[in-house]
Amino acid sequence: QVQLVESGGGLVQAGGSLRLSCAASGSIFSISAMGWYRQAPGKQRELVATIASAGRTNYGDAVLGRFTISRADATNTVYLQMNSLKPEDTAVYYCNVVSLGVVHWGQGTQVTVSS
């Protein structure tokens, strides 16, 4: 069984910063990719950022240049540094991990950006 524990969400004013963390534990092997997605009320879940095992990153257009994804393989942890936050970044943020071809999701952490 795989557990993903997210932390770092909260309320911040526009222009501020937050750092999300997601630690994977349990029966997890050979992680090939880790990532963050988000879902705002009434909208579909969308890509925020992913990072492959070789370090290659991919960002959604809405966050490019403001958010940075990174990973610590020793602890199976993925981070999302979010800068210059906007009210439209308000959403539940979910991390995911791809291990042996299986995608595992976290429970989500709320990020709210006030104007």
In this prediction, residue 49 carries a pLDDT of: 98
pLDDT (tens digit per residue) in 46-98: 999 999 988 899 999 999 999 999 999 899 999 999 999 999 999 999 999 99
Number of Cα atoms under 13 Å in the Cβ half of residue 29: 3
Q: Cβ-count burial of 100 within 10 angstroms (0-12 exposed, 13-18 middle, 19+ buried)?
A: exposed
In this prediction, residue 29 carries a pLDDT of: 80
| Alpha-carbon gap, residue 70 to 53, rounded angstroms | 11
pLDDT (tens digit per residue) in 13-54: 999 999 999 999 988 888 889 999 999 999 999 999 999 988
Looking at this protein, which amino acid is placed at residue 102?
V
The answer to whether the beta carbons of residues 108 and 36 sit under 8 Å apart is no
